[in-house]
Chain A
Amino acid sequence: MHDTPAPLVADRRETSGHAAHPAHAPPEGFLRKYVFSLDHKVIGKQYLDLALIAVVTGMVLSWLMRFHLAFPTTSIPGLDKLAPNGASGGVMTPELYLSLMTMHGTIMVFFVLTTAPFAGFGNFVLPIQVGAEDMAFPRFNMMSFWVTFLAFLVLIAAFFVPEGPPLSGWTAYAPLSALGKDAGPGQGTGQTLWAVSIALFCIGQLLGALNFIATTLDLRTKGMTLSRMPFSTWAWFITSVMGLIAFSVLLPACVLLLLDRVAGTSFFIPGGLVVSDRLQPHSGGSPLLWQHLFWFFGHPEVYIAILPGFGIISHILPVFARKPLLGPRVLIACLIAIGFLSYTVWGHHMFLSGMNPLSATLFSVPTLIITIPATIVTLLWIGTLYGARIRFTSAALFCLGFISVFVTGGISGFFLAQPSIDTYLHGTYFVVGHFHFVMGVAAMFGIFAGVYFWFPKMYGRMMNETLGKVHFTLTLIGVYCTFMPMHYLGLAGNVRRYSAFTDDYMKGSLPLHRFITMAALFTGAVQLIFFYNLIWSRLRGAKAPDNPWQATSLEWSTSSPPPFDNFGGHHPVVSYGPNEYGVPGPAGDYVMQAPSTRPATT
Chain B
Amino acid sequence: MASPGSPARTGVWIGIAAITMSFAAYTSALVVRQGAAPDWRHFRLPPILYLNTTVLLVSSGTLEMGRRRIRREAAWGTGMPSQGVLWLSLTLGLGLLFIAGQVLAWRDLSAQGLFLATNPSSAFFYVLTALHALHLLGGVAALGYSMHRLHASAARTPSAALDAASLYWHFMGVLWLYLLAVLALRL
Stretch from A212-220, A389-397, A479-487 that touches the partner: A212-220
Residues of chain B within 8 A (CB-CB) of A296 are 25
- Which residues between 1 and 47 of chain B lie within 8 Å of chain A, taking CB atoms? 1-8, 10-11, 14-15, 17-19, 21-22, 25-26, 29, 32-33, 36-40
CB distance from A216 to the nearest CB of B (A): 10
A124 to B131, CA, bound (A): 33
Residues of chain A at interface, number, CB under 8 A = 51
CB distance from B173 to the nearest CB of A (A): 20
A221 to B37, CA, bound (A): 55
Does B123 reach chain A (CB closer than 8 Å)? yes
Known contacts A244-B17, A251-B22, A265-B116, A218 near B33 by CB under 8 Å: no
Known contacts A20-B161, A285-B36, A218 near B123 by CB under 8 Å: no
Residues of chain A within 8 A (CB-CB) of B39 are 271, 283-284
| Contact in complex: A286, B6 (CB < 8 Å) | no
Q: Which residue in B19, B22, B123 is a CB contact (below 8 Å) of A259?
A: B123
Question: Which secondary structure characterizes the binding site on chain B?
Answer: helix
| Contact in complex: B1, A220 (CB < 8 Å) | yes
| Contact in complex: B7, A219 (CB < 8 Å) | yes
| Contact in complex: B18, A217 (CB < 8 Å) | no
Residues of chain B within 8 A (CB-CB) of A210 are 11, 14-15, 18
| Contact in complex: B21, A245 (CB < 8 Å) | yes
Stretch from A101-109, A222-230, A430-438, A495-503 that touches the partner: A222-230
| Contact in complex: A21, B7 (CB < 8 Å) | yes
- Which residues between 261 and 294 of chain A lie within 8 Å of chain B, taking CB atoms? 263-267, 270-271, 283-286, 288-289, 292-293
CB distance from B10 to the nearest CB of A (A): 5
Nearest CB in chain B to that of A251: its residue: B22
Q: Which residue in A2, A213, A247, A264 is a CB contact (below 8 Å) of B1?
A: A2
Q: Which residue in B10, B32, B33, B131 is a CB contact (below 8 Å) of A136?
A: B10
A586 to B1, CA, bound (A): 26
Residues of chain B within 8 A (CB-CB) of A213 are 10, 14
Q: Which residue in B6, B17, B18, B26 is a CB contact (below 8 Å) of A218?
A: B6
Does A526 reach chain B (CB closer than 8 Å)? no
Does B127 reach chain A (CB closer than 8 Å)? yes
Q: Which residue in A217, A220, A245, A286 is a CB contact (below 8 Å) of B33?
A: A286
A228 to B96, CA, bound (A): 47
Nearest CB in chain B to that of A215: its residue: B7
| Contact in complex: B117, A244 (CB < 8 Å) | no
Q: Which residue in B21, B37, B40, B116 is a CB contact (below 8 Å) of A244?
A: B21
A284 to B40, CA, bound (A): 9
- Which residues between 554 and 571 of chain A lie within 8 Å of chain B, taking CB atoms? none
Known contacts A214-B10, A286-B32, A289-B33, A263 near B25 by CB under 8 Å: no
| Contact in complex: B3, A249 (CB < 8 Å) | no
| Contact in complex: B5, A248 (CB < 8 Å) | no
Nearest CB in chain A to that of B7: its residue: A136
Does B101 reach chain A (CB closer than 8 Å)? no
Nearest CB in chain A to that of B18: its residue: A248
Does B138 reach chain A (CB closer than 8 Å)? no
Residues of chain A within 8 A (CB-CB) of B19 are 248
CB distance from A288 to the nearest CB of B (A): 8
- Which residues between 129 and 187 of chain B lie within 8 Å of chain A, taking CB atoms? 131, 149, 153, 161
Q: Could you mark each residue 56-95 of chain B with 1 if its beta carbon is under 8 Å from any beta carbon of chain A, else 0?
A: 0000000000000000000000000000000000000000
| Contact in complex: B29, A220 (CB < 8 Å) | no
Nearest CB in chain B to that of A249: its residue: B25
A481 to B16, CA, bound (A): 47
Does A15 reach chain B (CB closer than 8 Å)? yes
A158 to B99, CA, bound (A): 35
CB distance from B161 to the nearest CB of A (A): 7
Nearest CB in chain B to that of A206: its residue: B18
| Contact in complex: A218, B10 (CB < 8 Å) | yes
Q: Could you mark each residue 233-252 of chain A with 1 if its beta carbon is under 8 Å from any beta carbon of chain B, else 0?
A: 00000000000110111011
| 28 contacting pairs across A/B (C-beta < 8 A) | A3-B1, A20-B161, A136-B10, A210-B14, A210-B18, A217-B5, A217-B10, A218-B1, A218-B3, A218-B6, A218-B7, A219-B1, A220-B3, A223-B2, A244-B17, A245-B21, A248-B19, A248-B22, A252-B22, A264-B117, A265-B117, A267-B29, A270-B36, A284-B36, A284-B37, A285-B33, A286-B37, A292-B32
Shortest 6 CB-CB distances between A and B: which pairs?
A284-B37, A264-B117, A248-B21, A136-B7, A286-B36, A284-B39
Q: Kindly list 13 other residue pairs between chains A and B, CB separation below 8 angstroms, not including A244-B14, A245-B21.
A: A1-B1, A20-B11, A136-B10, A136-B11, A218-B6, A220-B2, A256-B29, A263-B116, A283-B37, A284-B36, A289-B32, A289-B36, A292-B32
State the B residues within 8 Å of A (CB). 1-8, 10-11, 14-15, 17-19, 21-22, 25-26, 29, 32-33, 36-40, 116-117, 120, 123, 127, 131, 149, 153, 161
State the A residues within 8 Å of B (CB). 1-3, 15, 18, 20-21, 136-137, 206, 209-210, 213-215, 217-225, 244-245, 247-249, 251-253, 255-256, 259, 263-267, 270-271, 283-286, 288-289, 292-293, 296
